[in-house]
Amino acid sequence: MAEETIFSKIIRREIPADILYQDELVTAFRDISPQAPTHVLIVPNHLIPTVNDVKASDEKALGRMVTVAAKLAEEAGIAKDGYRLIMNCNQHAGQEVFHIHMHLVGGEPLGPLLAKKQSV
């Protein structure tokens, strides 16, 4: 797995991003290809390639990701109506950047989580 990602560069502010929150554990920024009116990525500041690579020592950063998501949802005015938090793990789930990240998505009805497959 990669030791450097585009997210690492955003965290270090080496490439531009619309950063909404940053502390010693996590960074949150707007997705460059939003899938809803509110679409924010929340990432740990240290590289964890996939959820499969999470260790007990990462629990504080992962907990912070959730509390930051709730704070940003409140600030965006979407907390009351609802929002979705999504983490993808590996290829079948659609993970594209191998630096774990949580998608905060909302601002409109999102529909079903997964489309039902048609029987043949």
**Catalytic one of 46, 99, 101, 103:** 101
User: What is the C-alpha separation between 88 and 96, in angstroms, rounded?
Assistant: 9
Annotation marks residue 101 as catalytic: yes
Check if the beta carbon of residue 49 is closer than 8 Å to that of residue 1. yes
Enumerate residues 6+ apart whose C-beta is below 8 A from 104: 28, 38, 39, 40, 41, 42, 69, 72, 73, 83, 84, 85
Residues carrying an active site annotation: 101
